[in-house]
Amino acid sequence: MLMDQVNESSKINESTLAIREARVLGFQTEIISMQGTEFSVVPPLKLLDDRCIQAGFTMQGNIKATRIRHRIHNKVPLVVDPFRNMIAMPTHSPKHIDNVWIFSEHILATHPHTKTQSIVEFTNNQSLILNCSIHTLDKQYNRTCRLSAESMYRNKQYYMMNYHFNRDKK
């Protein structure tokens, strides 16, 4: 991984609200965060994979494990960083032009907008109109919440196991 790619993937962090295909000439990804919007020349899937690698695994390995463990076959949520509980949920197939990766920990509410559009409202009062139905958005959010709960439970088990192991060594 090149240093420029590391710098680009670090744009996906705890303050990231959503990422999607950029519709600005010269850029491939729009990154929406608590601080505002910025753009990257790196494609969304590459940014997500590079960020997953920083956490110690690949995007494809993570998606495969989630598919098997949770029996989710389409629009699989992605645990971007289990140690920071960063989970991104896709609104469409990951390669679909209208796909938006929403980081679930920042969702305050979801609302219908039209029959085929919905609104996601974030904890910092920003909102985003999505080209997906409220049914799809809510289904994705429920999947992601289950995945988040499992991830937090596994982290708690890991920390408790290490705490007792290290305590017993003294």
Over residues 54-76, the pLDDT tens digits come to: 989 999 999 999 999 889 999 99
- C-alpha atoms less than 13 angstroms from C-alpha of 93 in its C-beta half-sphere: 4
Please state, rounded to an integer, the average pLDDT across all residues of the chain.
87
Quickly state the pLDDT bin for 6 (edges 50, 70, 90). Answer: very low
Rounded to whole angstroms, the Cα distance separating 55 from 87 reads: 12
Per-residue pLDDT, 74: 94
3-state secondary structure at position 21: strand
Per-residue pLDDT, 160: 55
Q: pLDDT by residue (tens digit) across 71-113?
A: 999 999 999 998 888 999 999 999 999 999 999 999 999 999 9
Per-residue pLDDT, 147: 86
Rounded to whole angstroms, the Cα distance separating 9 from 54 reads: 9
